Amino acid sequence: MSYRKVRFEYYQVVYRRRTDNGTVRDRLFDLEKWMDKAMSLSLEGRTFDYRSEQARLDNAYWDPDLEFYFLHFVRLRDTNIPSKAKADSQVEPFELQDDEYLGEEVSALYDESNHVLMLQRNKYSLGPEGIEEYLNLVWDNEEETIYLRPICPPNVFELARRAGEYRRINLRFADINIKNNPNLLQRLRSPLRNIVSSFGEYQGINAQVIITVGNNKDASLDEQTIRDTLLDIEENPHLFSKAEIAKKDDDDAKVELVDLFAHKAHDFATFRMERRASLNHYTVAGEMWSIYSPKQGCNNRQRDINSYLRS
């Protein structure tokens, strides 16, 4: 038996008018109207070219039992096709008919009360940029452009500081020239001072540092050292092009990867995969509902997402 871990991310669906200037805030987009327009088209009519392949909305519907909208997108792939084999014969090409494709699927839950799209991530299918492009292709309005704005928890550094355990820190430094920045080392209080100082000896200006506890599931990086490092990163963001930390809030919690500069609200779910079967959209939709719905008690991610939007 195998298992598949799936990531879900949260976006608010907004749009801008062509005449909007930089001071106008994003407007909330009514995705229900978009779904009505999309579903009025045939399958062929809502299939569009996408990066030398094709993409389409397979279905969009209101689930009366779960009380949310759900969308099912698919990327239609006819390149880089795998081969097939039998136990008693050699491998042979997997041939597709002219009107056949490999379908790479993505599911989404839409909450019309706050214009939030909970989006499944699948590296082989449409990502948020692809979904955004597809929304605009269907909407086909030169005066309006639809965007998926990532929803991010506020005070991400406070979120990181509240962790019970730290498993890994991953830092990528921006261009640093110590000779042109003589006061740089004095501003750093963590061991980053020594790391940056070594750049001068190498005559290097870029570096990436990854520090982990290895395979010891009960270990944690030193808490005070991490807190000092977090403060250095927060006070000197221009020194870094990437900063991630893997943390656990307590012994029973899962390890969470926090991007200190672009931390999107997200969740994970693990699915049991049957042999010779794909991950079914309705199975994914049900799990998304169990994570997001306020009717599921302690999870209540809808409440969390609403609080992030108000911040």
Q: Which residue range is the domain that position 39 belongs to?
A: 2-152+264-310
254, 274: one domain: no
241, 273: one domain: no
Say whether pLDDT at 72 is over 80.
yes
End-to-end C-alpha distance for the chain, whole angstroms: 43
Q: Given pLDDT bands bounded at 50, 70 and 90, which one contains residue 296?
A: low
Task: Quote the tokens at residue 205.
Answer: 């200006």
Asked which of 259, 274, 289 is the last residue of a domain, the reply is 259
Cβ proximity of 14 and 145 under 8 Å? no
Q: Which of 257, 6, 305, 300 lies closest to 151 in space, CA to CA?
A: 305
116, 235: one domain: no
Number of domains in the chain: 2
290, 255: one domain: no
Q: Model-level pTM?
A: 0.78
| Measured CA distances, 122 to 138, 144, 292 (Å) | 22, 28, 19
69, 38: one domain: yes
Asked which of 259, 282, 298 is the last residue of a domain, the reply is 259
Report the pLDDT value the prediction gives residue 295, as an integer from 0 to 100: 76
Most confident of 58-72, 142-156, 167-181, 260-274: 58-72
- Per-residue pLDDT, averaged over 183-208, amounts to 84
Q: How many CA atoms lie within 13 A of 124 on its CB side?
A: 12
Task: Quote the tokens at residue 168.
Answer: 């890994």
54, 136: one domain: yes
205, 286: one domain: no
Top pLDDT among 297 and 279 is at 279
Cβ proximity of 246 and 168 under 8 Å? yes
Say whether pLDDT at 81 is over 60.
no
143, 71: one domain: yes
Say whether pLDDT at 186 is over 60.
yes
Q: Which of 287, 267, 271 lies closest to 279 in space, CA to CA?
A: 271
Per the DSSP assignment, residues forming a β-bridge with 111 are 116
Per the DSSP assignment, residues forming a β-bridge with 28 are 14
102, 226: one domain: no
108, 195: one domain: no
pLDDT, the chain, mean: 87
| d(C-alpha 220, C-alpha 163), whole Å | 11
Per the DSSP assignment, residues forming a β-bridge with 248 are 165
Task: Quote the tokens at residue 54.
Answer: 């094709």
Report the pLDDT value the prediction gives residue 277, as an integer from 0 to 100: 67
Report the pLDDT value the prediction gives residue 8, as an integer from 0 to 100: 96
- Give the pLDDT confidence of 28-49 residue by residue, as tens digits: 999 999 999 999 999 999 999 8
Q: Given pLDDT bands bounded at 50, 70 and 90, which one contains residue 76?
A: confident
Cβ proximity of 268 and 284 under 8 Å? no
Q: Which of 173, 172, 174, 156 lies closest to 256 in space, CA to CA?
A: 156
Cβ proximity of 69 and 35 under 8 Å? yes
Say whether pLDDT at 98 is over 80.
no
Top pLDDT among 101 and 6 is at 6
Report the pLDDT value the prediction gives residue 23, as an integer from 0 to 100: 78
Top pLDDT among 218 and 253 is at 218
Asked which of 221, 236, 259 is the last residue of a domain, the reply is 259
113, 88: one domain: yes
72, 141: one domain: yes
